[in-house]
Amino acid sequence: MADNPLAFAYHHAQDLVREADEDRFLAAQFAPADKRTHLYALAAFSHEIARVRDSVREAMIGEIRLQWWRDALQGEARGDVKANPLAAALDDTIVKFRLPRQALVDLIDARVFDLYDDPMPSMNDLEGYCGETSSSLFRLSSIILSGGADGGSADAAGHAGVAYAIVGLLRAFPWHARRGQIYLPADILSRHGVVRDDIVNGRGGPGLIGALADMRAVARWHAQQVRGLRATITVEARPAYRSLALIEPYLRQMERRGYDPFNTLVDVPKWRKVLALWQGWS
């Protein structure tokens, strides 16, 4: 493998996704074998961008790291791209399947929000953020699975990404709250009489419970829209949506008695994930 840098790059991406994003790794097992390495490359890139805040002490350093990825995608990083295995695997995938680079640049731009503690102003803003960071992955994965062709409805990818991302943000709520990063939209919090300091200081209460219930309802609504658009997704592209099968199990965990949004780890056993993914989404 040392004699084949590209093979090493793809293997590195696969290992990263296996370790850091179990859900996407497991979902990819239901895709054709010849497409999986490329799905891993895309997912590994997404993870690398998402973890920038965790790997830097200052937001400006994070901005610099994100700019490197912009340059890599736009052909301005030159030789540095091949030296970075994730960038090399991603670039090869982009070329093979004619993926739109701008969608990946837009993902990076949206992730700038993560570097700071600014409030999420509204549900519309959150849906836009989820669209750029999550929906694009469904859309690009669909293209990969379709061999570079159109994988079907962009609307389906849009709704899928919002549903999947909101559930992910709800699962990460305790971690985000501890570091003062609030993704719950300000208009939802205001409706329930919750302010940022309540969350940062670990104060729950009926208001926060109501706001979180509203978020779960939004995630379910978007998931339902995908079901209604199922016919617009090509057969080849449908494995890209397999991960939606995990949405309901996670939401049900949040609705169990004793759920504490500040301390409960929302997860399900691996075997249940595999079973849900095998049964698929409908």
pLDDT in tens, 17-46: 999 999 999 999 999 999 999 999 999 999
Start-to-end CA distance of the chain, whole Å, equals 40
Average of pLDDT values for 179-200?
A: 95
* 116, 133, 151 - which closes a domain: 116
Amino acid at residue number 217: A
Among the candidates 116, 135, 150, a domain finishes at 116
Tens digits of residue pLDDT in 100-130? 999 999 999 999 999 999 999 999 999 999 9
Name the residue with tokens 């549900």: 123
Domain assignment of residue 73, given as a range: 1-116
- Rounded to 10 deg, the angle between the 33-50 and 136-145 helix axes is 160
DSSP 233: B
pLDDT for position 68:
93
Q: How many domains does the chain have?
A: 2
pLDDT (tens digit per residue) in 141-159: 999 999 999 878 899 999 9
Residues 82 and 207 in one domain: no
Max distance between CA atoms of the chain, in angstroms, equals: 60
Tell me: the pLDDT tens digits for 54-102? 999 899 999 999 999 999 998 765 556 778 999 999 999 999 999 999 9
Q: What are phi and psi for residue 2, nearest 5 degrees?
A: -65, -25
Q: Are residues 254 and 210 in the same domain?
A: yes
- Based on the fold, state whether residues 143 and 102 are members of the same structural domain: no
Same domain? For 152 and 257 the reply is yes
With cut-offs at 50, 70 and 90, classify the pLDDT of residue 280: confident
Question: Which has the closest alpha carbon to 169: 129, 207, 203?
Answer: 129
Last residue in a domain, options 101, 116, 131: 116
Q: Are residues 127 and 107 in the same domain?
A: no
Map tokens 């939401």 to a residue.
251
Residues 121 and 251 in one domain: yes
Whether 45 and 133 map to the same domain: the answer is no
pLDDT at 109: 98
Chain centroid to CA 74: 22
Q: What is the DSSP string of 83-124?
A: HSHHHHHHHHHHHHHT--HHHHHHHHHHHGGGGS------HH
Decide if 87 contacts 72 (C-beta within 8 A): yes
Share of the chain above pLDDT 70, in %: 97
Residues 194 and 274 grouped into a single domain: yes
pLDDT at 150: 86
Residue 75: predicted pLDDT:
79
Q: Which helix or strand (DSSP H or E) is residue 221 part of?
A: helix 206-228
The residue type found at 250 is Y
Same domain, 133 and 223: yes
pTM of the shown model:
0.95
